[in-house]
Structure 1
Amino acid sequence: MVFLKDIKHEGQKLLSISTGNTNGHEIHLEICKPFARGICPATVVSYRVANWTPECEYQDQSLRILISGFPQRPSLNILPSLGRRILDDNIPLKKHLFFGGEFRFITGYWEWAEDVLGMSKNILKKGLIYDVVYASLFTYDRCINAVQAFCEAWCPAVNTLLTSIGELAITLWDLHVIGGLPIIGDAYDESISSASEMLKANADRPFQLCKYLFGAYHHLFPKTGDKRLLCVHVWVKFWFKKASKYTMPPSRTEKKRTARAKATHNPSGSIPKFGGWTNSMKVPFQILKVPAEYEKEIYLAAFLSCWLCAFVLPHEGPRVIRPEIFKVACMACGRKICLAVPVLASIYHGLNQISNAPSPDQVRTCFPVHYVYGWLASYFDTHFKNDIQSTTPLMISYSGEGGARSLDKRGARGRIFQGDVSSWMCSTHRRIRDHVFFDGENPSETDLTFFRCLRSNFLELRYQNHCIAEPYTPHRFSRQFGYFQANAPGLLEKHERRVSLVAGFRFWQQFEHGMSRAEAVFPTPPTIPAKYYSLEYKEWWSQVHGSYLENRVGDLIRICDFEIGNVVSSPDPVAPASKKKKEVPDTEAKSLPQKKAKLAAPRAEVLIKDAEKETLPAKANENQVLEKQSNDDRNWKHL
């Protein structure tokens, strides 16, 4: 049993979690205002667009174009990219780029996921997350040379990929189709609620679930150590009590492949029928004193907390449970939450951190990069397809060990820089005729989802009392939706990346704004999307980027001349060898880099009694742990 109460410390409102025992430990978490209308009661909508897809006359044809709903300013003379910086400023990369958010093997996670998918299929379908939970049953390989080329061609000014034939981007619709992420739903809100909200007599169901998740967090939270963070393997071990059937994948050797690896350590994708509750599965509920009527929802919410932190949105590393996530995990009640917006904001933010850094190969950024791998596989054919019988999400078709093709440095850069896209509209519905959409009452969910993906906006990602906003400008890459690229696109007039919670919520209101009475025509796809642009656009593109990177592939290879080894990540926590068999719950968190994104605020403050302070362990060498991870990749074949 834990006790929750609201306290104030130095003018700051905190949630105190304790056992009420003088010998126990106490956790303090910063209380955050809800990301809802309480922050910004007045709806502010900037869109004043009657028709998002007007016709333009070009060479005696009437063609549909996509416009922006925001004021524009003139485009830059030269579009920046990491590759251009490397070439113009002679910035050498001494090692491959670091991605801290890759999804990796976690002992017991896949078995738990299968349990949840079999037990709670209906509630997951209701919340529009069954497919994306299913996608976490697999790991996702990458061709390191293709990812390196992708980062070199990424433009941080406009969040697009610069190729010789124009701009592409990871779109919201891509994340919906390729990754299975929902676009319809409430705002994503990572925050700590107050004790008064969770404990009031008529509290909503999500608040009632949250208090038990906080109880588990307090029960498992490490009382000692330099990095007091709760790791996912400790969370999984506490909640999932069944036997494990999936083992840690062995280390893989580097070798070129002409076909997909025959063997994989991933699950088959077949979901077994839920076998019912066992006595051991009831143990966590007994410890936390969970009423019987809450058990199924708490079990699902506990899993979703792990899934969100490890797979969907790893902020501080894919190995840390964030208590702010508990409010979102209450999707276990069937609540719909838009996940595509914060995930794409996180991807854009992470890529821009790399692109803008003085030493890109030293950046320790964390974002769900496996969605980038799935996007590259879908658009640039960087992966072999597997035999998994699933049509959605699309990235599952490319999952598993040994899934990435062997592309050398020149071949990978040539494919990305040239815009050698295997399918420009791989995620877009191929219509046989134009479809007119009117944003009025009761539109179909599919049409409304697609329509939201066409509107320019700033994508917000709220974490505690911080908020980032990344520009999303589909009029720049409208060919991916089937529209004609007619004119030189400008830049959004506003260009703030870090905003207040009020501004962030207003961006969310703009995104979800419905019944605007606006019209859009969803077009039939052009025969050759790559060449679906005007001479004016072609001339402009040759001035701002053109074939700059494609023509200088050799120079990039010469400047970034290093051997690519295994990528940083290991499937399970890397702990120092010890003769005594004991749990070290904070080991995994120590493997996280010290310099995290500025988005992250300080974690929990733990009050440790004097008697416990004498038993604090010696500080572990974090750099040694990180180096150990770099040399012990057990999940991937990287070439």
Structure 2
Amino acid sequence: MFEPSETMMESRQEVMVSPVGDSQPTVRIAHFLKPSVPFNDPLISEVPSSYLPSPSVFDLKKWLLSVKLIGWPGTPRKWIHWVDSMHSTYQSLWKKVGIYDAIMGTKCHFLKDEDLIFGIAERWCSETNTFLFPWAEATITLEDIMILGGYPVLGDSVHKPLETQGLKTIEEKLILARQETRRTAARKASLHHWMTIFMNSGREIEHEAFLVAWLSIFVFPGKSFLVNTIVFPIAIHLARGTAIALAPAVLASIYRDLSLLKQTMVALTRNVADASVEEHLQLELRSLFYLVQIWVWERFVVLQPKPKLINHGNPVIGRWDRVKALKIGDVRSVIDSAMDDFVWRPYAIFASKHRLFYAENSMWVPLDHPLDNEIMSFIIWMRISELVGLDCIERYLPHRVSMQFGIDQDIPGSVTLINEAPEIAWNYYVRPITDSKVYIPSRFFEPDVTTRYVEWWKECVQGHQDPVKNLVQRKRSPRTWKKRNNDANTQPGFPPKYRKSSSFGSSSGFLLERSESNQIGVFSSPFATGKTDVSVANGADISAEKKNLIEDGGPKCDMKTKEMSSFAFATDHGTIGQVDSQMKPLVEIETETSIAGLQEAVEKENGNQGSQQSSLAYYRVNLSWIEEDNSDAFDMFVVDLESRISKVERMLAELKQ
């Protein structure tokens, strides 16, 4: 079991293979995110039960479900003018607190593709907060939220209170201003009226009011385009130059809503056999779901429309401003067969903007000195943590998707997280660094997987009605990118609610929309379990599982504003010697030498150097080759290969002596 005090990375000699099986196995020093399943651990990880796909492709119209994406706002023309008018005065401050790209990105407009959103949501697993594809796991990470969305991963908690009287006085002024916006016929604190009052007003708190509008519309959107009082402290801190870690809060809400959408889809699909069901539900999702769609576009080449060229320094997300989606007949089948077309590191082309994240050469960076923000951000992306949102806490497990950071993948180990309260989860997010150094891969490097990962994933997928057999093999790009001269400068929350239209009732504040004549309803109570309990009102239990809070990652607390620890890192110097010993490989073997030696040993053992079976190319691991009727042959191959590798390692050890 992984403990918080353990180091984040490890390096060891392993037999590695391409994740798509288009290369020969190589014995090399590989780098992994911890924890991996120990070699002597009989309890090998399993793909969670929610991997099981829905019985059929989800049809939104067939199941009478309306999904309202509140977190996909339009961009009012008045807002764009306000951004432009504030830019010259406050751009340096926005850059200091890490929100410049996020604010400038609000001038973009993103066209919605609901088929793509539902297609990707079918593959979501709320137990791991990852997408489970037939060929691997992947997910939206803090890297995506920071690089694509422009939200900072560093700073204080979104629950940081206002501690001085001066800051509290500013909050009182904002509260009075909000009351002023309610003096209309609608008697609502409309953001349109808020912008009218403050835009170019020259008032003392105009910048704070601007940030309140930004947070209420584009970061933590509420219902009906209203001013959200819960963001007042965040806006005040940002206006005073105090960085707030918005990225974990944004990502936590996305994880929560993906789980809610997936569970609702599964619940409706399982009950379609009931002919009396004529329920029409409206599901409101308040997270920034446009980031989910753009995440898919950045990574799935076959689903990607042509992006726009952007000027140097402009937000990355501007590539997708007003870009129309492709017309895809069956999104699900395209996603399931996209093994060769998935881009693990799409942002590596922006090396000129993020030189350290996407360096030309791999490097080890020592952590025994004060770290700059880039190194800190990179570490936060890649280490297990808990994401503290305004009203939810979610698990963050990057070790399951390490190839998204250019790191090799092994079987991911299990993790126990304790997140009973926001302050505990936040302290875990900002815990001290215990590694003495961190490995940053080259942007040209394509990571591999261990051979045991290939076997494990194949067994997991086949155990859940293996969809891999339907994959279509396509030609893959070379394993190593060829560096070109112009590569570096390539430009290419609130709790979700069901609206209630009858007196059916509510649960923990989460409501249901249903017609008077029908008996089925869907409830949601993230406060109770951190996930969604989907039930049938007439007594048929759709999903009655109650997860242990520690394992499930759900908060059991009221989300009152409490003081959080400020963001800080400290290196544990007492572990340097131990970590260094972990990082040193047993035997340094160049890739070419290891392959040649392994090939020679195979041929020598077979006694037939001309035989096809003696070639490693014959034994290559190809995920598209793994089908149900080939499982025995694959198992024999793995055992045989491991035996040969052991013999080669013994031979190398003898030669070294």
TM range (shorter): 0.5 to 0.7
Report the residue type matching 2:268 in the other structure.
Answer: S
What is the aligned counterpart of 1:214 among 175, 180, 202?
175
Preserved contact between residue 364 and residue 593 of structure 1 (Cα < 8 Å) = no
Which residues of 2 match residues 429-578 of structure 1 at below 5 A? 429-463=357-391, 468-487=392-411, 489-494=412-417, 500=420, 503-525=421-443, 527-529=445-447, 532-545=448-461, 548=466
The 10-residue stretch of structure 1 (539-548 or 60-69) with the greater mean CA deviation from structure 2: 539-548
| Structure 1 position 596, deviation (Å) | 9.8
Preserved contact between residue 180 and residue 393 of structure 1 (Cα < 8 Å) = yes
Counterpart residue number, 1:127: 97
Distance 1:75 1:159, change over 3 A: same
SS at match of 2:455: helix
Report the residue type matching 1:329 in the other structure.
Answer: A
Report the residue type matching 1:207 in the other structure.
Answer: K
Counterpart residue number, 1:105: 75
1:126-163 superposed Cα distances (whole Å, 9 cap, x missing partner): 21111110001111123332222111111111111122
SS at match of 1:447: helix
Counterpart residue number, 2:288: 368
What is the aligned counterpart of 1:354 among 242, 249, 261?
261
What is the aligned counterpart of 1:338 among 235, 242, 245?
245
Counterpart residue number, 2:320: 398
Report the residue type matching 2:397 in the other structure.
Answer: T
Cα distance in 1 for partners of 2:153, 2:37 equals: 21
Report the residue type matching 1:49 in the other structure.
Answer: E
SS at match of 2:30: strand
| Structure 1 position 478, deviation (Å) | 0.4
Cα distance in 2 for partners of 1:491, 1:437 equals: 27
Please, which runs of 5 or more residues in structure 2 have no aligned partner?
Answer: 16-25, 270-280, 349-356, 472-511, 515-521, 529-657
RMSD: 3.6
Preserved contact between residue 172 and residue 344 of structure 1 (Cα < 8 Å) = yes
Counterpart residue number, 2:578: none
Counterpart residue number, 1:274: none
SS at match of 2:346: coil
| Structure 1 position 474, deviation (Å) | 0.7
Counterpart residue number, 1:231: 190
What is the aligned counterpart of 1:57 among 14, 19, 23?
14
Cα distance in 1 for partners of 2:330, 2:469 equals: 11
Distance 1:137 1:190, change over 3 A: farther
Q: Would you say 1:409 and 2:290 are equivalent positions? A: no
Cα distance in 2 for partners of 1:392, 1:70 equals: 42
Preserved contact between residue 32 and residue 410 of structure 2 (Cα < 8 Å) = yes
Report the residue type matching 2:32 in the other structure.
Answer: I
Preserved contact between residue 216 and residue 226 of structure 2 (Cα < 8 Å) = yes
Preserved contact between residue 140 and residue 399 of structure 1 (Cα < 8 Å) = yes
| Structure 1 position 223, deviation (Å) | 8.0
Counterpart residue number, 1:566: none
Q: Would you say 1:136 and 2:106 are equivalent positions? A: yes
Cα distance in 2 for partners of 1:156, 1:121 equals: 38
Report the residue type matching 2:327 in the other structure.
Answer: L
Q: Highest Rg: 1 or 2?
A: 2
Cα distance in 1 for partners of 2:366, 2:240 equals: 32
Counterpart residue number, 1:423: 343
Preserved contact between residue 108 and residue 321 of structure 2 (Cα < 8 Å) = yes
Report the residue type matching 1:127 in the other structure.
Answer: V
Percentage of pairs with the same residue: 21
Preserved contact between residue 81 and residue 355 of structure 1 (Cα < 8 Å) = no
Counterpart residue number, 1:585: none
Cα distance in 2 for partners of 1:517, 1:483 equals: 16
Cα distance in 2 for partners of 1:541, 1:64 equals: 19
Cα distance in 1 for partners of 2:177, 2:527 equals: 22
| Structure 1 position 329, deviation (Å) | 0.5
The 10-residue stretch of structure 1 (352-361 or 339-348) with the greater mean CA deviation from structure 2: 352-361
1:345-394 superposed Cα distances (whole Å, 9 cap, x missing partner): 01000100111222387432221112212212211242321244244532
| Structure 1 position 319, deviation (Å) | 1.5
Distance 1:107 1:345, change over 3 A: same
Distance 1:456 1:600, change over 3 A: closer
Report the residue type matching 2:388 in the other structure.
Answer: E
Distance 1:161 1:116, change over 3 A: same
Cα distance in 1 for partners of 2:289, 2:89 equals: 29
Larger RCO: Structure 1 or Structure 2 (Cα < 8 Å, ≥ 6 residues apart)?
A: 1
Distance 1:347 1:415, change over 3 A: same
Distance 1:549 1:327, change over 3 A: farther
Cα distance in 2 for partners of 1:187, 1:480 equals: 26
Counterpart residue number, 1:68: 35
SS at match of 2:409: coil
SS at match of 2:285: coil
Counterpart residue number, 1:166: 136
| Structure 1 position 413, deviation (Å) | 3.8
Distance 1:388 1:593, change over 3 A: farther
Cα distance in 1 for partners of 2:52, 2:192 equals: 36
What is the aligned counterpart of 1:311 among 202, 210, 218?
218
1:160-213 superposed Cα distances (whole Å, 9 cap, x missing partner): 11222201111101111111111111111287x6xxx6xxxx624x33321211
| Structure 1 position 549, deviation (Å) | 5.2
| Structure 1 position 527, deviation (Å) | 4.8
Q: Give the TM-score of the pair, scaled to structure 2.
A: 0.60
Preserved contact between residue 359 and residue 441 of structure 2 (Cα < 8 Å) = yes
Report the residue type matching 1:512 in the other structure.
Answer: V
Q: Give the TM-score of the pair, scaled to structure 1.
A: 0.62
Cα distance in 1 for partners of 2:67, 2:468 equals: 20
1:229-284 superposed Cα distances (whole Å, 9 cap, x missing partner): 5232222222225xxxxxxxxxxxxxxxxxxxxxxxxxxxxxxxxxxxxxxx25xx
Structure with bigger helix share is 2
